[in-house]
Amino acid sequence: MMKSDMKLITDEGKRLDGRGPHDLRKIKIDAGVLHRADGSCYLEWGGNKVLAAVYGPREAVPRHTQNPLRAIVQARYNMAAFSVEDRKRPGPDRRSVEISKVISEALEKVILTEQFPRASIDVNIEVLDAEAGTRCAGLTAAAVALVDAGIPMRDIPVSCAAGKIGGHVVLDLGKEEDNFGDADLPIAISPRTGEVLLLQMDGHLTVEEFNQAFDLALKGCQTVSEIQKQAIMQKYQSVAAEVQE
Amino acid sequence: MTIVPVIKRDYITKLAEQGKRIDGRTFDSYRTIDIETKVVNKAEGSARVKIGNTQVLCGIKMDIGEPFPDTPATGVMSTAAEFVPLASPDFESGPPRENAIELARVVDRGVRESQVIQLEKLCVSPGEKVWLVFIDIHILDYDGNLFDAASLAALAALLTTKVPVSRFIKTLNEKERASWQEQLKDIYRIPGVDEVPFGADETSTDKKIVENFPLPMIEPPISCTAVKINDFVLFDPCFDEEIIADARLTVATDNKGDLRAMQKGLSGSFTREEIQKVIKGALDNGQEIRKKLNQCLGK
Protein backbone atom coordinates (compact mmCIF):
# COMPACT_ATOMS: atom_id res chain seq x y z
CA MET A 1 0.00 0.00 0.00
CA MET A 2 1.44 3.37 -0.96
CA LYS A 3 0.59 5.41 2.05
CA SER A 4 2.43 8.46 0.77
CA ASP A 5 -0.22 8.75 -1.92
CA MET A 6 -2.88 8.74 0.72
CA LYS A 7 -5.38 11.53 0.26
CA LEU A 8 -5.02 13.52 3.45
CA ILE A 9 -7.51 16.19 2.57
CA THR A 10 -10.40 16.37 0.12
CA ASP A 11 -10.88 19.20 -2.35
CA GLU A 12 -13.63 20.47 -0.07
CA GLY A 13 -11.06 20.74 2.71
CA LYS A 14 -12.21 17.79 4.76
CA ARG A 15 -9.45 15.91 6.61
CA LEU A 16 -9.08 12.22 7.45
CA ASP A 17 -10.58 12.62 10.92
CA GLY A 18 -13.39 14.80 9.61
CA ARG A 19 -11.90 18.10 10.70
CA GLY A 20 -11.86 21.20 8.53
CA PRO A 21 -8.50 22.85 7.75
CA HIS A 22 -8.76 25.32 10.65
CA ASP A 23 -10.06 22.93 13.33
CA LEU A 24 -8.12 21.77 16.37
CA ARG A 25 -8.40 18.27 17.73
CA LYS A 26 -10.35 17.90 20.97
CA ILE A 27 -8.44 19.23 23.97
CA LYS A 28 -9.06 18.49 27.64
CA ILE A 29 -6.97 19.94 30.46
CA ASP A 30 -7.05 19.17 34.20
CA ALA A 31 -4.85 21.10 36.62
CA GLY A 32 -3.52 19.74 39.90
CA VAL A 33 -3.92 16.01 39.38
CA LEU A 34 -0.88 14.70 41.27
CA HIS A 35 -0.40 14.56 45.03
CA ARG A 36 3.37 14.77 45.49
CA ALA A 37 4.21 17.34 42.83
CA ASP A 38 4.21 21.07 43.60
CA GLY A 39 2.11 21.59 40.50
CA SER A 40 0.73 19.24 37.88
CA CYS A 41 -1.46 18.99 34.82
CA TYR A 42 -3.06 16.23 32.79
CA LEU A 43 -3.79 17.04 29.17
CA GLU A 44 -5.48 15.17 26.36
CA TRP A 45 -5.06 16.57 22.86
CA GLY A 46 -6.63 14.32 20.25
CA GLY A 47 -4.99 10.95 20.85
CA ASN A 48 -2.18 12.47 22.92
CA LYS A 49 -2.21 11.96 26.66
CA VAL A 50 0.37 13.95 28.56
CA LEU A 51 1.12 14.44 32.23
CA ALA A 52 3.29 17.31 33.47
CA ALA A 53 4.61 17.88 36.99
CA VAL A 54 6.60 20.78 38.44
CA TYR A 55 9.00 20.58 41.38
CA GLY A 56 10.58 23.69 42.78
CA PRO A 57 11.93 26.23 43.06
CA ARG A 58 14.40 24.05 44.97
CA GLU A 59 18.17 24.02 45.37
CA ALA A 60 19.80 23.14 42.09
CA VAL A 61 22.00 20.05 42.28
CA PRO A 62 24.75 19.35 41.38
CA ARG A 63 25.87 22.74 42.65
CA HIS A 64 27.93 23.71 39.62
CA THR A 65 24.66 23.99 37.68
CA GLN A 66 23.50 26.82 39.96
CA ASN A 67 23.30 30.32 38.60
CA PRO A 68 23.96 32.94 41.30
CA LEU A 69 21.67 35.42 39.57
CA ARG A 70 18.64 33.37 38.62
CA ALA A 71 16.91 30.01 38.70
CA ILE A 72 17.58 27.40 36.05
CA VAL A 73 14.62 25.79 34.32
CA GLN A 74 15.03 22.10 33.59
CA ALA A 75 12.29 20.56 31.52
CA ARG A 76 12.50 16.84 30.86
CA TYR A 77 10.37 15.39 28.09
CA ASN A 78 10.01 11.62 28.30
CA MET A 79 7.97 9.14 26.31
CA ALA A 80 6.53 6.06 27.96
CA ALA A 81 7.66 2.79 26.39
CA PHE A 82 4.05 1.92 25.58
CA SER A 83 3.05 5.32 24.17
CA VAL A 84 3.92 4.50 20.58
CA GLU A 85 3.16 1.81 17.99
CA ASP A 86 6.48 -0.06 18.35
CA ARG A 87 7.76 -0.12 21.93
CA LYS A 88 10.21 2.66 22.64
CA ARG A 89 13.26 1.80 24.68
CA PRO A 90 12.96 3.57 28.03
CA GLY A 91 15.23 6.53 28.70
CA PRO A 92 16.29 9.63 26.81
CA ASP A 93 17.16 9.50 23.12
CA ARG A 94 18.45 12.32 20.90
CA ARG A 95 14.94 13.40 19.99
CA SER A 96 13.68 13.73 23.55
CA VAL A 97 16.87 15.52 24.66
CA GLU A 98 16.33 18.11 21.93
CA ILE A 99 12.66 18.57 22.75
CA SER A 100 13.52 18.91 26.45
CA LYS A 101 15.99 21.64 25.57
CA VAL A 102 13.70 23.74 23.39
CA ILE A 103 10.87 23.44 25.91
CA SER A 104 13.18 24.45 28.79
CA GLU A 105 14.27 27.51 26.85
CA ALA A 106 10.71 28.46 25.95
CA LEU A 107 9.56 28.24 29.58
CA GLU A 108 12.62 30.04 30.90
CA LYS A 109 11.67 33.14 28.96
CA VAL A 110 8.35 33.62 30.81
CA ILE A 111 9.34 32.45 34.31
CA LEU A 112 10.60 35.18 36.67
CA THR A 113 13.81 33.26 37.23
CA GLU A 114 15.58 36.27 38.75
CA GLN A 115 13.48 35.80 41.89
CA PHE A 116 15.13 32.48 42.70
CA PRO A 117 18.92 32.63 42.44
CA ARG A 118 20.71 29.26 42.67
CA ALA A 119 17.40 27.41 42.44
CA SER A 120 16.13 24.91 39.94
CA ILE A 121 12.61 24.69 38.61
CA ASP A 122 12.08 21.17 37.34
CA VAL A 123 9.37 20.43 34.82
CA ASN A 124 8.72 16.79 34.05
CA ILE A 125 6.66 15.92 31.01
CA GLU A 126 5.55 12.34 30.52
CA VAL A 127 3.97 11.36 27.22
CA LEU A 128 1.67 8.45 28.05
CA ASP A 129 -0.05 8.10 24.69
CA ALA A 130 1.36 9.69 21.54
CA GLU A 131 -0.34 10.77 18.34
CA ALA A 132 1.50 13.66 16.67
CA GLY A 133 2.11 17.01 18.32
CA THR A 134 3.42 15.76 21.64
CA ARG A 135 5.83 18.67 22.09
CA CYS A 136 2.99 21.18 21.77
CA ALA A 137 0.86 19.14 24.14
CA GLY A 138 3.79 18.79 26.55
CA LEU A 139 4.64 22.47 26.63
CA THR A 140 0.99 23.46 27.01
CA ALA A 141 0.59 21.04 29.92
CA ALA A 142 3.87 22.19 31.49
CA ALA A 143 2.62 25.79 31.46
CA VAL A 144 -0.52 24.85 33.39
CA ALA A 145 1.53 22.78 35.86
CA LEU A 146 3.79 25.82 36.45
CA VAL A 147 0.75 27.96 37.25
CA ASP A 148 -0.56 25.21 39.53
CA ALA A 149 2.80 25.20 41.33
CA GLY A 150 2.52 28.96 41.87
CA ILE A 151 5.68 29.77 39.92
CA PRO A 152 5.66 33.50 39.09
CA MET A 153 5.45 34.01 35.34
CA ARG A 154 5.07 36.91 32.95
CA ASP A 155 2.46 34.99 31.00
CA ILE A 156 1.10 31.49 30.53
CA PRO A 157 2.90 30.11 27.49
CA VAL A 158 0.96 28.03 25.01
CA SER A 159 1.86 25.92 22.02
CA CYS A 160 0.19 24.73 18.83
CA ALA A 161 1.27 23.54 15.41
CA ALA A 162 0.17 24.23 11.87
CA GLY A 163 1.34 22.50 8.75
CA LYS A 164 0.74 21.67 5.15
CA ILE A 165 -0.98 18.57 3.79
CA GLY A 166 -1.95 17.83 0.22
CA GLY A 167 -1.23 21.43 -0.74
CA HIS A 168 -3.44 22.92 1.97
CA VAL A 169 -2.26 24.84 5.01
CA VAL A 170 -3.99 23.32 8.05
CA LEU A 171 -4.01 23.61 11.82
CA ASP A 172 -2.83 20.96 14.30
CA LEU A 173 -1.58 17.96 12.30
CA GLY A 174 -2.90 14.52 13.18
CA LYS A 175 -0.95 11.26 12.99
CA GLU A 176 -1.15 10.49 9.28
CA GLU A 177 -0.88 14.17 8.43
CA ASP A 178 2.35 14.39 10.41
CA ASN A 179 3.79 11.23 8.81
CA PHE A 180 2.76 11.87 5.24
CA GLY A 181 2.16 15.61 5.12
CA ASP A 182 4.37 18.22 3.46
CA ALA A 183 5.36 20.38 6.42
CA ASP A 184 4.96 20.78 10.16
CA LEU A 185 5.38 24.07 12.05
CA PRO A 186 5.08 23.83 15.84
CA ILE A 187 5.28 27.15 17.68
CA ALA A 188 4.89 28.33 21.25
CA ILE A 189 4.01 31.88 22.18
CA SER A 190 3.40 34.16 25.08
CA PRO A 191 -0.27 34.85 24.25
CA ARG A 192 -0.43 38.26 25.93
CA THR A 193 2.40 39.76 23.87
CA GLY A 194 2.58 37.39 20.90
CA GLU A 195 6.29 36.79 21.49
CA VAL A 196 7.46 33.54 19.93
CA LEU A 197 9.07 31.21 22.48
CA LEU A 198 9.51 28.10 20.34
CA LEU A 199 9.57 27.63 16.62
CA GLN A 200 10.54 24.60 14.60
CA MET A 201 9.75 23.68 11.05
CA ASP A 202 10.33 20.66 8.92
CA GLY A 203 9.17 20.00 5.39
CA HIS A 204 8.70 22.42 2.56
CA LEU A 205 6.78 25.71 2.63
CA THR A 206 6.83 28.79 0.42
CA VAL A 207 7.19 32.12 2.22
CA GLU A 208 3.53 32.77 1.52
CA GLU A 209 2.54 29.38 2.96
CA PHE A 210 4.76 29.94 5.98
CA ASN A 211 2.98 33.20 6.73
CA GLN A 212 -0.41 31.52 6.41
CA ALA A 213 0.65 28.59 8.59
CA PHE A 214 2.20 30.87 11.18
CA ASP A 215 -0.95 33.00 11.46
CA LEU A 216 -3.03 29.85 11.71
CA ALA A 217 -0.81 28.45 14.48
CA LEU A 218 -1.04 31.79 16.32
CA LYS A 219 -4.82 31.59 16.22
CA GLY A 220 -4.65 27.98 17.42
CA CYS A 221 -2.46 29.09 20.32
CA GLN A 222 -5.04 31.68 21.36
CA THR A 223 -7.80 29.04 21.37
CA VAL A 224 -5.68 26.62 23.41
CA SER A 225 -4.75 29.45 25.76
CA GLU A 226 -8.43 29.92 26.63
CA ILE A 227 -8.75 26.21 27.46
CA GLN A 228 -5.66 26.48 29.69
CA LYS A 229 -7.17 29.41 31.57
CA GLN A 230 -10.47 27.58 32.06
CA ALA A 231 -8.62 24.57 33.51
CA ILE A 232 -6.74 26.81 35.92
CA MET A 233 -9.93 28.66 36.93
CA GLN A 234 -11.67 25.36 37.51
CA LYS A 235 -8.87 24.23 39.80
CA TYR A 236 -9.04 27.48 41.81
CA GLN A 237 -12.82 27.24 42.06
CA SER A 238 -12.73 23.66 43.31
CA VAL A 239 -10.12 24.61 45.91
CA ALA A 240 -12.25 27.61 46.95
CA ALA A 241 -15.29 25.35 47.29
CA GLU A 242 -13.30 22.94 49.46
CA VAL A 243 -12.12 25.76 51.71
CA GLN A 244 -15.67 27.00 52.18
CA GLU A 245 -16.82 23.55 53.28
CA MET B 1 16.92 11.17 55.46
CA THR B 2 16.52 14.13 57.70
CA ILE B 3 14.85 14.95 60.99
CA VAL B 4 11.33 14.92 59.56
CA PRO B 5 10.86 11.13 59.51
CA VAL B 6 12.03 10.99 63.16
CA ILE B 7 9.28 13.40 64.19
CA LYS B 8 6.77 11.57 62.04
CA ARG B 9 7.82 8.27 63.57
CA ASP B 10 6.96 9.59 67.03
CA TYR B 11 3.58 10.75 65.81
CA ILE B 12 2.77 7.56 63.93
CA THR B 13 3.74 5.26 66.81
CA LYS B 14 1.81 7.37 69.35
CA LEU B 15 -1.29 7.07 67.18
CA ALA B 16 -0.67 3.35 66.67
CA GLU B 17 -0.66 2.81 70.44
CA GLN B 18 -4.22 4.13 70.42
CA GLY B 19 -5.06 1.83 67.52
CA LYS B 20 -5.13 4.66 64.98
CA ARG B 21 -3.34 5.65 61.78
CA ILE B 22 -2.56 9.08 60.35
CA ASP B 23 -5.26 8.88 57.72
CA GLY B 24 -7.88 7.38 60.05
CA ARG B 25 -7.74 3.82 58.73
CA THR B 26 -7.66 0.63 60.81
CA PHE B 27 -4.41 -1.36 60.79
CA ASP B 28 -5.48 -3.91 58.22
CA SER B 29 -7.52 -1.80 55.84
CA TYR B 30 -6.51 -0.45 52.45
CA ARG B 31 -6.96 3.02 51.08
CA THR B 32 -9.50 3.42 48.29
CA ILE B 33 -8.45 1.44 45.24
CA ASP B 34 -9.36 2.64 41.80
CA ILE B 35 -8.62 0.62 38.66
CA GLU B 36 -9.09 2.01 35.18
CA THR B 37 -8.21 -0.05 32.12
CA LYS B 38 -7.65 0.75 28.45
CA VAL B 39 -6.22 4.16 29.23
CA VAL B 40 -3.49 4.15 26.56
CA ASN B 41 -4.65 3.60 23.00
CA LYS B 42 -1.21 2.87 21.57
CA ALA B 43 -0.58 0.07 24.06
CA GLU B 44 -1.82 -3.50 23.58
CA GLY B 45 -3.17 -3.33 27.10
CA SER B 46 -3.02 -0.73 29.85
CA ALA B 47 -4.28 0.13 33.29
CA ARG B 48 -4.04 2.95 35.77
CA VAL B 49 -4.27 1.96 39.41
CA LYS B 50 -4.74 4.39 42.27
CA ILE B 51 -4.31 3.29 45.85
CA GLY B 52 -5.09 6.43 47.80
CA ASN B 53 -2.78 9.06 46.37
CA THR B 54 -0.40 6.55 44.86
CA GLN B 55 -0.84 6.33 41.11
CA VAL B 56 0.74 3.78 38.80
CA LEU B 57 0.30 3.33 35.06
CA CYS B 58 1.17 0.08 33.33
CA GLY B 59 1.27 -0.41 29.58
CA ILE B 60 1.80 -3.64 27.67
CA LYS B 61 3.52 -3.70 24.29
CA MET B 62 3.97 -6.85 22.20
CA ASP B 63 6.33 -7.73 19.43
CA ILE B 64 7.52 -10.81 17.59
CA GLY B 65 11.09 -11.87 18.20
CA GLU B 66 13.46 -14.74 18.83
CA PRO B 67 12.89 -17.13 21.73
CA PHE B 68 15.60 -18.00 24.25
CA PRO B 69 17.59 -21.04 23.02
CA ASP B 70 16.65 -23.13 26.08
CA THR B 71 12.90 -22.49 25.67
CA PRO B 72 12.43 -22.41 21.88
CA ALA B 73 8.64 -22.70 21.98
CA THR B 74 7.87 -20.27 24.78
CA GLY B 75 6.99 -16.61 24.59
CA VAL B 76 9.23 -14.07 26.29
CA MET B 77 8.16 -11.55 28.89
CA SER B 78 10.12 -8.71 30.41
CA THR B 79 9.22 -6.13 33.01
CA ALA B 80 10.64 -2.65 33.53
CA ALA B 81 9.70 0.04 36.00
CA GLU B 82 10.36 3.73 35.60
CA PHE B 83 10.46 5.92 38.68
CA VAL B 84 9.91 9.07 36.68
CA PRO B 85 10.80 12.33 38.48
CA LEU B 86 7.19 13.42 38.03
CA ALA B 87 6.14 11.13 40.87
CA SER B 88 8.24 12.36 43.75
CA PRO B 89 10.77 15.07 44.60
CA ASP B 90 13.24 12.28 45.38
CA PHE B 91 13.06 10.49 42.04
CA GLU B 92 15.70 11.41 39.50
CA SER B 93 15.90 10.78 35.79
CA GLY B 94 18.47 8.43 34.38
CA PRO B 95 18.94 4.67 34.25
CA PRO B 96 16.82 2.67 36.73
CA ARG B 97 18.18 2.63 40.27
CA GLU B 98 18.06 -0.14 42.84
CA ASN B 99 14.47 0.55 43.89
CA ALA B 100 13.12 0.57 40.33
CA ILE B 101 14.92 -2.69 39.57
CA GLU B 102 13.64 -4.34 42.75
CA LEU B 103 10.07 -3.28 41.98
CA ALA B 104 10.28 -4.50 38.38
CA ARG B 105 11.70 -7.84 39.53
CA VAL B 106 9.07 -8.36 42.20
CA VAL B 107 6.26 -7.62 39.73
CA ASP B 108 7.97 -9.79 37.10
CA ARG B 109 8.28 -12.70 39.53
CA GLY B 110 4.65 -12.38 40.55
CA VAL B 111 3.55 -12.68 36.94
CA ARG B 112 6.16 -15.17 35.75
CA GLU B 113 6.31 -17.68 38.61
CA SER B 114 2.56 -18.00 38.97
CA GLN B 115 2.42 -18.49 35.18
CA VAL B 116 -0.30 -15.91 34.83
CA ILE B 117 0.60 -15.44 31.18
CA GLN B 118 0.53 -18.76 29.37
CA LEU B 119 3.82 -18.14 27.62
CA GLU B 120 3.88 -21.63 26.10
CA LYS B 121 0.89 -20.53 24.05
CA LEU B 122 2.75 -17.57 22.61
CA CYS B 123 4.94 -19.45 20.19
CA VAL B 124 4.57 -18.49 16.53
CA SER B 125 7.16 -20.82 15.01
CA PRO B 126 9.26 -22.99 17.37
CA GLY B 127 12.89 -21.94 17.66
CA GLU B 128 12.40 -18.96 15.38
CA LYS B 129 9.60 -16.64 16.32
CA VAL B 130 7.68 -16.13 19.52
CA TRP B 131 5.63 -13.28 20.97
CA LEU B 132 7.46 -10.88 23.25
CA VAL B 133 5.46 -9.28 26.05
CA PHE B 134 6.83 -6.04 27.49
CA ILE B 135 5.38 -4.88 30.79
CA ASP B 136 6.30 -1.26 31.41
CA ILE B 137 5.39 0.32 34.71
CA HIS B 138 5.31 4.07 35.16
CA ILE B 139 5.07 5.47 38.68
CA LEU B 140 3.06 8.70 38.36
CA ASP B 141 2.47 9.71 41.97
CA TYR B 142 4.27 8.14 44.92
CA ASP B 143 2.45 7.91 48.23
CA GLY B 144 3.64 4.52 49.40
CA ASN B 145 2.91 0.85 48.62
CA LEU B 146 4.22 0.75 45.08
CA PHE B 147 4.50 -3.05 45.21
CA ASP B 148 0.76 -3.59 45.40
CA ALA B 149 -0.13 -0.77 43.04
CA ALA B 150 2.39 -1.87 40.42
CA SER B 151 1.45 -5.57 40.61
CA LEU B 152 -2.23 -4.76 40.35
CA ALA B 153 -1.66 -2.37 37.45
CA ALA B 154 0.39 -5.02 35.63
CA LEU B 155 -2.33 -7.65 36.11
CA ALA B 156 -5.14 -5.34 35.06
CA ALA B 157 -3.16 -4.28 31.99
CA LEU B 158 -2.32 -7.87 31.04
CA LEU B 159 -5.92 -8.97 31.48
CA THR B 160 -7.03 -6.36 28.96
CA THR B 161 -4.21 -7.05 26.51
CA LYS B 162 -5.05 -8.06 22.96
CA VAL B 163 -2.36 -9.88 21.00
CA PRO B 164 -1.80 -7.50 18.04
CA VAL B 165 -2.05 -10.16 15.35
CA SER B 166 -3.34 -7.71 12.77
CA ARG B 167 -0.21 -5.58 13.02
CA PHE B 168 2.24 -8.44 12.66
CA ILE B 169 0.48 -10.84 10.31
CA LYS B 170 2.20 -9.28 7.30
CA THR B 171 5.62 -10.05 8.73
CA LEU B 172 4.95 -13.80 8.83
CA ASN B 173 5.62 -16.22 5.97
CA GLU B 174 3.27 -19.05 4.96
CA LYS B 175 4.87 -21.61 7.24
CA GLU B 176 4.80 -19.32 10.23
CA ARG B 177 1.18 -18.41 9.58
CA ALA B 178 0.20 -22.07 9.43
CA SER B 179 2.11 -22.80 12.61
CA TRP B 180 0.51 -19.89 14.41
CA GLN B 181 -2.93 -20.92 13.23
CA GLU B 182 -2.37 -24.37 14.77
CA GLN B 183 -1.36 -22.65 17.99
CA LEU B 184 -4.49 -20.54 17.95
CA LYS B 185 -6.70 -23.60 17.51
CA ASP B 186 -5.17 -24.94 20.64
CA ILE B 187 -5.44 -21.72 22.60
CA TYR B 188 -8.94 -20.69 21.75
CA ARG B 189 -10.94 -23.85 21.43
CA ILE B 190 -14.28 -22.61 20.26
CA PRO B 191 -16.88 -25.38 20.36
CA GLY B 192 -18.49 -26.07 16.99
CA VAL B 193 -16.09 -23.82 15.15
CA ASP B 194 -13.51 -25.58 13.03
CA GLU B 195 -12.06 -22.55 11.44
CA VAL B 196 -10.14 -20.58 13.98
CA PRO B 197 -10.46 -16.88 13.36
CA PHE B 198 -7.14 -15.62 12.15
CA GLY B 199 -5.66 -12.18 12.39
CA ALA B 200 -6.55 -9.27 10.19
CA ASP B 201 -5.02 -9.70 6.79
CA GLU B 202 -5.74 -6.94 4.32
CA THR B 203 -3.88 -8.68 1.50
CA SER B 204 -5.73 -11.97 1.87
CA THR B 205 -8.56 -12.59 -0.57
CA ASP B 206 -10.63 -14.78 1.71
CA LYS B 207 -11.75 -12.48 4.48
CA LYS B 208 -11.70 -14.48 7.64
CA ILE B 209 -12.89 -13.03 10.91
CA VAL B 210 -10.59 -10.15 11.60
CA GLU B 211 -9.69 -9.79 15.23
CA ASN B 212 -6.89 -9.54 17.75
CA PHE B 213 -6.94 -12.06 20.56
CA PRO B 214 -6.91 -11.71 24.30
CA LEU B 215 -3.60 -12.70 25.85
CA PRO B 216 -3.93 -16.29 27.14
CA MET B 217 -3.99 -15.91 30.92
CA ILE B 218 -4.96 -17.80 34.05
CA GLU B 219 -6.54 -16.36 37.20
CA PRO B 220 -3.80 -14.27 38.80
CA PRO B 221 -2.73 -14.12 42.44
CA ILE B 222 -3.11 -10.77 44.21
CA SER B 223 -0.29 -9.16 46.21
CA CYS B 224 -0.86 -7.46 49.54
CA THR B 225 1.81 -5.62 51.47
CA ALA B 226 2.13 -4.78 55.15
CA VAL B 227 4.86 -2.99 57.10
CA LYS B 228 5.97 -3.29 60.67
CA ILE B 229 6.56 -0.20 62.79
CA ASN B 230 7.65 -1.06 66.33
CA ASP B 231 5.27 -3.94 67.12
CA PHE B 232 2.47 -2.76 64.90
CA VAL B 233 1.61 -4.34 61.58
CA LEU B 234 0.03 -1.91 59.14
CA PHE B 235 -1.37 -2.88 55.76
CA ASP B 236 -1.06 -0.73 52.64
CA PRO B 237 1.46 1.74 54.09
CA CYS B 238 1.23 5.33 52.89
CA PHE B 239 4.44 7.26 52.18
CA ASP B 240 4.94 8.54 55.75
CA GLU B 241 4.47 5.05 57.18
CA GLU B 242 6.66 3.44 54.56
CA ILE B 243 9.72 5.64 55.10
CA ILE B 244 9.84 4.88 58.82
CA ALA B 245 8.93 1.19 58.55
CA ASP B 246 11.24 -1.41 60.11
CA ALA B 247 10.20 -4.29 57.91
CA ARG B 248 7.94 -5.02 54.99
CA LEU B 249 6.21 -8.19 53.86
CA THR B 250 4.37 -8.81 50.60
CA VAL B 251 2.15 -11.88 50.27
CA ALA B 252 0.45 -12.95 47.04
CA THR B 253 -2.60 -15.17 47.38
CA ASP B 254 -4.72 -16.90 44.74
CA ASN B 255 -8.48 -17.31 44.50
CA LYS B 256 -8.34 -20.67 46.32
CA GLY B 257 -6.79 -18.98 49.34
CA ASP B 258 -3.33 -20.48 48.74
CA LEU B 259 -0.05 -18.60 48.94
CA ARG B 260 1.74 -17.98 45.65
CA ALA B 261 4.61 -15.61 46.45
CA MET B 262 6.17 -13.78 49.36
CA GLN B 263 8.85 -11.15 49.67
CA LYS B 264 10.24 -9.65 52.83
CA GLY B 265 12.04 -6.33 52.67
CA LEU B 266 13.91 -3.85 54.86
CA SER B 267 16.18 -4.57 57.81
CA GLY B 268 13.59 -5.28 60.54
CA SER B 269 12.26 -8.70 61.48
CA PHE B 270 8.91 -10.45 61.81
CA THR B 271 7.82 -13.01 64.40
CA ARG B 272 5.92 -16.12 63.41
CA GLU B 273 2.67 -14.64 64.77
CA GLU B 274 3.19 -11.44 62.84
CA ILE B 275 3.74 -13.35 59.63
CA GLN B 276 0.49 -15.22 60.21
CA LYS B 277 -1.26 -11.93 60.84
CA VAL B 278 0.06 -10.60 57.52
CA ILE B 279 -1.04 -13.77 55.70
CA LYS B 280 -4.55 -13.48 57.11
CA GLY B 281 -4.76 -9.81 56.18
CA ALA B 282 -3.41 -10.58 52.71
CA LEU B 283 -6.10 -13.22 52.18
CA ASP B 284 -8.90 -10.90 53.30
CA ASN B 285 -7.70 -7.87 51.39
CA GLY B 286 -6.76 -10.04 48.42
CA GLN B 287 -10.36 -11.21 48.12
CA GLU B 288 -11.61 -7.64 48.12
CA ILE B 289 -9.06 -6.50 45.56
CA ARG B 290 -9.81 -9.51 43.34
CA LYS B 291 -13.48 -8.61 43.45
CA LYS B 292 -12.65 -5.06 42.45
CA LEU B 293 -10.39 -6.22 39.61
CA ASN B 294 -13.04 -8.56 38.23
CA GLN B 295 -15.66 -5.86 38.52
CA CYS B 296 -13.48 -3.48 36.58
CA LEU B 297 -12.92 -6.10 33.88
CA GLY B 298 -16.65 -6.64 33.66
CA LYS B 299 -16.66 -10.20 35.03
Minimal C-alpha gap between A49 and chain B (Å): 8
pLDDT digits (tens, 9 = 90+) for A157-171: 999 999 999 999 999
- Which whole-number Å values give the CA distances from B219 to A197, B111, B147, B214, in the listed order? 52, 11, 19, 14
With CB atoms and an 8 Å threshold, state whether B39 touches A47. Answer: no
pLDDT digits (tens, 9 = 90+) for A49-107: 999 999 999 999 899 999 999 999 999 999 999 999 999 999 889 999 999 999 999 99
What mean pLDDT comes out for the span B2-26? 89
Interface of B with A in 136-165 (CB under 8 A): 136, 138, 140-143
Label residue B225 by pLDDT band (50, 70, 90): very high
Cross-chain residue pair B85–A80, CB shorter than 8 Å: no
The nearest CA of chain A is from the CA of B274 a distance in Å of 31
Selected residues 255-284 of chain B with any CB under 8 Å from a CB in chain A: none
pLDDT digits over A132-151, tens only? 999 999 999 999 999 999 99
Q: Is B2 on the interface with A (CB under 8 A)?
A: no
CB-CB neighbours of B270 under 10 Å: 18
**Are A35 and B143 in contact (CB < 8 Å)?**
yes
Q: What is the pTM of this model?
A: 0.86
Question: Residue by residue, what is the 3-state secondary structure of chain A?
Answer: CCHHHCCCECCCCCECCCCCCCCCCCEEEEECCCCCCCEEEEEEECCEEEEEEEEEEEECCCHHHCCCCCCEEEEEEEECCCCCCCCCCCCCCHHHHHHHHHHHHHHHHHECHHHCCCEEEEEEEEEEECCCCHHHHHHHHHHHHHHHCCCCECCCCEEEEEEEECCEEEECCCHHHHHHCCEEEEEEEECCCCEEEEECCEECCCHHHHHHHHHHHHHHHHHHHHHHHHHHHHHHHHHHHHHHC
List, for residues B144-195, the tens digit of each pLDDT value.
Answer: 999 999 999 999 999 999 888 878 877 888 888 777 777 766 665 544 434 4
Rounded-to-10 torsion of CA B1, B7, B12, B15: 180
Q: Whose CA is closest to A84, among B213, B46, B157?
A: B46
The complex's ipTM?
A: 0.80
Q: Does B63 touch chain A (CB under 8 A)?
A: yes
Chain B residues in contact with A52 by the CB 8 A cut-off are 86
Q: How confident is the model at residue B125 (pLDDT cuts 50, 70, 90)?
A: confident
Mean pLDDT of chain A: 94
B164 to chain A: which residues are within 8 Å by CB?
A: none
Side-chain-side CA neighbours of residue B166 (13 Å) = 14
CB contact B87 to A (< 8 Å): yes
* Residues whose CB falls within 8 Å of the CB of residue A245, separated by 6 or more in sequence, listed in order: none
Question: Residue A83 and residue B43: Cβ atoms within 8 Å?
Answer: yes
How many contacts, defined by CB atoms under 8 Å, are there between A and B? 103
Q: Are B54 and B61 in contact (CB under 8 A)?
A: no
Please state, in angstroms and as integers, the Cα–Cα distance from residue A191 to each residue in A29, A74, A217, following that order. Answer: 17, 22, 12
